[in-house]
Structure 1
Amino acid sequence: EERYFSHLCKCETNWTETNTLTPACPTSCAAQDEQFNLIFAIAGAVVGILLVLSGMVFDRLGTLITRLLGSVVFLSGSLMVALSTPAISYVLYPAVLCVMYGGFFILVTNIQLGNLLKRG
């Protein structure tokens, strides 16, 4: 729909009744889907490795700083996604990485919330 990575799809040209060529580009193609799958796979693998860093930051700097860092990373990724266009489709690689990493960064800090309520 939004034509991200549409340059990877092959457009066919059709003759119209007025003898003019019109490009007929599909709304999605396999190469386009592969790019989105690659973005998700790379982001997932890198985030899995970087979660070790999240734990170290959480242990050293505490909850507040870790949540602020996670929020900044998540916000920067969200802004990159919002400002991306089909012309600069490749900005989705760092954008999705930042959104995933920032989200997990915040999730790591929420684990301690379960210890607030004691059972009687």
Structure 2
Amino acid sequence: MYEPIRTRSVHSTAEASRFPHRSREEELDIQLAGHLGALLAVTDELGDDPAAERIAQQVARLRGAPPARHAALTGSSPTTLHRRAHALAGRALLVAASRADTAAAILAAERMDAHAAAVAPAQPAAAS
């Protein structure tokens, strides 16, 4: 029917074992720094400087260097930016929870709340 493979697998060569591999924690750090970096860009565009500074501190902690920041404006509406920031904060929260990073998880949850409040329609006063 078919002939068995007689050559060695390219995935199990001695050459492959010489390359460094990252641990799960290192991979999660990279993911978290990436999500927070993207959140930082949106937060900068929204002009929320205090929140941006807190996010930048977390990115610097994870990367070991301060994040690169620029004022690239997308021209999106504030509502769109808040929705994007909410989604990014949610992703950061998931990764922070996976790696048990309490500081980043709290920051991400606070940012989610802030962005959700920014897009929520004004709630009518409760009738007494």
Same fold per superposition (TM over 0.5) = no
TM-score (normalised: structure 2): 0.33
TM-score (normalised: structure 1): 0.35
| Bigger fraction of residues in strand | 1
